[in-house]
Amino acid sequence: MTGRQPQVLVVVASRHGATAEIGVEVARAIADCGAGRAGGLIAVALPAEQRPDPTAFDAVVLGSAVYAGRWLEPAREYAAQRAAALRARPTWLFSSGPIGEPPFPPDEPHDVAPLAQLTGARGHAVFPGRLDKARLSFGERAMATAMRAPVGDFRDWVAVRAWAEEVAGALTAGHVEQA
């Protein structure tokens, strides 16, 4: 990292806002945790649709909501278009989408392994999401009802902050560890 305050870009693709809120919390926790404060980390969360330039940042966290086992197109496109820049700096991935207790589906999204390879990601985390039928389209509500999907906010803010602190710790330790 450079002599200036290290900057972390958190890029998020979110359909109904829940994953965007996770991205904001990741950015806040990276900057506000002990390692982040000690290392002078600055973090900003931006939507993938804005296509922020990662070359102005020292590290990147890329996250997406997951539907039908896949990341949203804006996040996949961002990873593909910015792959070289992402490989050139510490990058982490996160997915949001499993719902219920225990969260279902329990497995990683289908496209995470290729995206991790494409971006050179140091790690990937899966966080439970939120299903609020009032925010869904008619088709999404019909599918959620047919699948008997559990409704509610299943996001684990303690886990989100703990993971963000691991990322901050890896960045401020002078070397990048698997987080």
Q: What is the pLDDT of residues 13-35, one digit of tens each?
A: 999 899 999 999 999 999 999 99
Q: Looking at residue 121, what is its pLDDT?
A: 97
Question: Region 98-123: what's the mean pLDDT?
Answer: 84
CB of 10 within 8 A of CB of 61?
A: yes
Is residue 1's pLDDT more than 60?
no
Question: Region 112-133: what's the mean pLDDT?
Answer: 92
**Prediction pTM value:** 0.88
Residue 51 region, left (φ>0) first, then alpha (ψ -120 to 50), else beta?
left
- Give, in order, the Cα–Cα distances in Å from 71 to each of 96, 106, 110, 147: 9, 15, 8, 20
Q: Which CATH class is domain 7-172?
A: alpha beta
Element (H, E) at 87: helix 83-87
User: Model confidence over 66-83: pLDDT tens digits?
Assistant: 988 899 999 999 999 999
Question: Region 100-123: what's the mean pLDDT?
Answer: 84
pLDDT band per the 50, 70, 90 thresholds, residue 178: very low
Question: Region 48-55: what's the mean pLDDT?
Answer: 97
Q: Looking at residue 141, what is its pLDDT?
A: 66
- The rounded mean pLDDT for the chain is 88
3-class SS at 55?
helix
How distant is the alpha carbon of residue 149 from its chain centre? Answer: 22
Is residue 94's pLDDT more than 50?
yes
In one-letter notation, the amino acid at residue 140 is E
Ranges of each domain in the chain: 7-172
